[in-house]
Structure 1
Amino acid sequence: MRPVVAQGTFDILHPGHVHYLREAKAMGDRLHVIVARETNVTHKAAPVVPERQRVEMVEALDPVDDARLGDPDDIFVPIEAIDPAVIALGHDQHHDIEKLESQLADRGLDCAVERVSGRAAGADELLSSGRIIDRILEQRG
C-alpha cells in the first residue's frame, strides 16, 4: 500500500482541484486529503464554505479515498496518523519543499514530497476559488 496525502483549503471546488487530486492519487494507491481548518488559513482570505461542508465535497470526489479536517494546532498530527509514502503539493501551494522535508524528518516521518503540475486554464475557465468569488461579485455583487 502506498498512501498519499494531499492538503488544501478546497473552498469552492473547481477543475484545478480535481486535476490536483487526480495527479496526487496517481502517486500512490490510496489518497488521503486533509482539508484546512478555517483558523489555519492565514495566507489568503478565509474560506466562504464551512469546514464540514468542504470535507464532504472533497470526500465525494472520485480520486479521494479519505478526507478529514486538519488539526487546529499542529498540521503534522493527521500526517503522522496517516504515515504517507508521499505528500503531494499543489503546483501553487505556498509550502517550501525543503523546509517541509526537514520538518517531516524532525518528526521521524519518512515520505517523499512532490509537487503536481499545474493545469492550463481553458477559454473562460476559472481555476481559482478566489477568481470564482471575484466573478460572482462582478456579475451579482
Structure 2
Amino acid sequence: MTETPTTVIAQGTFDILHPGHVHYLTEAAALGEELHVIIARRENVTHKEKPILPDRQRRDMVAALDVVDEAHLGHTEDIFVPIERIRPDYIVLGHDQHHDEEAIADALATRGIDCEVRRVSGRDPKYEGELLSTGRIVDRILELRG
C-alpha cells in the first residue's frame, strides 16, 4: 500500500519575489513532501494594492523556485476551489498575511477539508538595506527612479 505524500499549500500574491517569499515557501515546504502554491489573481486582491506583474508571470516565477512542486493560479470566484482539489494536510500562512487562521479553519471544516492551518515565522533582514516586502521594494524603486 502506497502512502500519499504530506501535502502543503502556501498562498499569496508574490508580486515581486524577494527573500521574505523564499523564507515563507522554504518553511512551508519543510512541513511536507509536496508544496503547492496558489497565486492570487489580480482581480481577487482587495486587501492591498493590486499586483504590478500579470498573474501568469507571478505563477511562473514561483513555479521556478526549487522548493515549489506546483504553482497554481487561484480560482476567479472561490478561493477554496484549488484547496478542495489538492486536499492538503497543511495550509501555511506567511507571518504577516492578513488572513484569520480561525476563519480559514472554520471554512475548511464547513467544506469537509481536513487540514491544519499554520503560520510561518518572520525573517529578519540579514544585512543592512535588505528589503523583505514588495511594498518596500516598490517604495525604494520610486525613491531612486521615480
Could you state the TM-score of these two structures normalised by the residue count of structure 1?
Answer: 0.99
CA distance in 1, matches of 2:73, 2:140: 28
Q: Which residue of 2 aligns with 1:125?
A: 130
Q: Which residue of 1 aligns with 2:120?
A: 116
- Please identify runs of 4+ aligned residues in structure 1 that moved more than 6 A: none
Deviations 1:7-64 (A, max 9, x none): 0000000000000000000011100000000011000000001000000000000100
Q: Which runs of 5+ in 2 are unaligned?
A: none
> Is residue 89 of structure 1 aligned with residue 93 of structure 2?
yes
Give, in angstroms, the shift of residue 121 of structure 1. Answer: 1.5
Any idea what SS the aligned residue of 1:67 has?
strand
Equivalenced residues, count = 141
Looking at structure 1, the residues matched to 17 and 106 of structure 2 have their Cα atoms a distance apart, in angstroms, of: 31
Structure 1: 5+ residue stretches without partners: none
Counterpart of 2:103 (choices 92, 99, 102) is 99
> Sequence identity, in percent?
65
TM-score by length of 2: 0.96
**Alpha-carbon distance in 2 for matches of 1:3, 1:75:** 18
Q: How does 1:25-104 map to 2 (within 5 A)?
A: 25-104=29-108
The match for 1:136 among 127, 133, 141 is: 141
1:7 aligns with 2:11: yes
- Give the counterpart letter for 1:25 in structure 2: A
Deviations 1:45-94 (A, max 9, x none): 00001000000000000100000100010000000000000000000011
